[in-house]
Amino acid sequence: MTPRALLLLLLLATGTSQAASLRCGSALVSTGSTTHEVRGKCGDPLSVTPLGERQVTDGYGYRQVEFVEEWAYGPWNGMLYFLTFRGGRLDQVDSKRAN
């Protein structure tokens, strides 16, 4: 196998794009969903933890503050789900086995 083919295989195996989703009953929420959409489909979270804020610059050069928070859901089928929101949009979904 050539080095170029090996590199391509490695990149495909690891993936560079992470699209996360969570099934709430028959509804599905995925990255980019708003807090309003997630609450409407999944109900109220177990907890909401503010993780801080960060300054971002938009495409026009204006600085804005984005609030970051983590919502916890579950346990569903023995799993806890942690949803991270940045600027009111779902950015990441993590899961952990409930003890």
Q: Is 48 inside any structural domain?
A: yes
Position 22 in a domain: yes
The number of residues in the chain equals: 99
Structural domain includes residue 57: yes
* Residue 1 falls inside a structural domain: no
The answer to which of 3-12, 25-34, 62-71, 81-90 has the lowest mean pLDDT is 3-12
Count of CB atoms situated within 10 Å of the CB of 68: 15
Q: What integer pLDDT is reported at residue 16 of this predicted model?
A: 41
Model confidence over 28-76: pLDDT tens digits?
Answer: 999 999 999 999 999 999 999 999 999 999 899 999 999 999 999 999 8
Query: For the whole model, what pTM was predicted?
Result: 0.76
Provide the number of structural domains found in the chain: 1
Q: What is the CATH number of the domain that holds 87?
A: 3.30.1450
Within a domain: 78: yes
Residue 91: domain span: 18-97
| Assigned domain for 69 exists | yes
Domain assignment present for residue 54? The answer is yes
In this prediction, residue 99 carries a pLDDT of 78
Q: Which two tokens stand for residue 3?
A: 């080095």
Run of H or E including 83: strand 79-86
Residue 14: per-residue pLDDT = 44
